[in-house]
Amino acid sequence: ATVSAEYLRERGVPATRLFQDTWSLDTIGNAVFLRIMHLEPRRLKRVAIITNKFHMGRVRTIFEWVLKANPRVVPFVTTYVEVPDVGLTPEQLAARVQKEAASLAKLQETTMQNFVTVDQIHAFVFEHHGAYATGIPRAPVSKELAASY
């Protein structure tokens, strides 16, 4: 987040327009913390989400789920910007694509159907999600996948 923000700032985006997420541990956390820590308190209406091509499908699904959940303080207009998948070996990229597809399928089959309001999504993150809930271990990842982070 810090490097990306600095890149944009060096290219003319005012620092006051850049909000970094330095506390989330995954994409769901990115979306939840964006909404509750930046968009709603500041009553911001527009946001741009920038991510890699391999990640965009799941990012779009997660952010739409979280940002459209009720109740909404203000409606959000979201722009998605896809950047090329550079810096990964073919094996790493294949592992990431496979992980994205599996994670997206699981999210759509279970989580998104059972947690539909902001309060429910908050409860999911802090009571059921392995990255944030106390006592829930994170799933192990393959060597190829771990190397891609």
pLDDT digits (tens, 9 = 90+) for 69-124: 999 888 899 999 999 999 999 999 999 999 999 999 999 999 999 999 999 999 99
* Cβ neighbours of 33 (radius 10 Å): 19
Q: How distant, in Å, are the alpha carbons of 110, 125, 133, 149 from that of 128? A: 12, 6, 6, 23
pLDDT, position 83: 93
Q: How confident is the model at residue 146 (pLDDT cuts 50, 70, 90)?
A: confident
Q: What are phi and psi of 23, to 5 degrees?
A: -115, -15
pLDDT, averaged across the chain: 92
Please state the pTM of the whole predicted model.
0.89
Average pLDDT over residues 24-44: 94
Contact 19, 51 (CB under 8 A): no
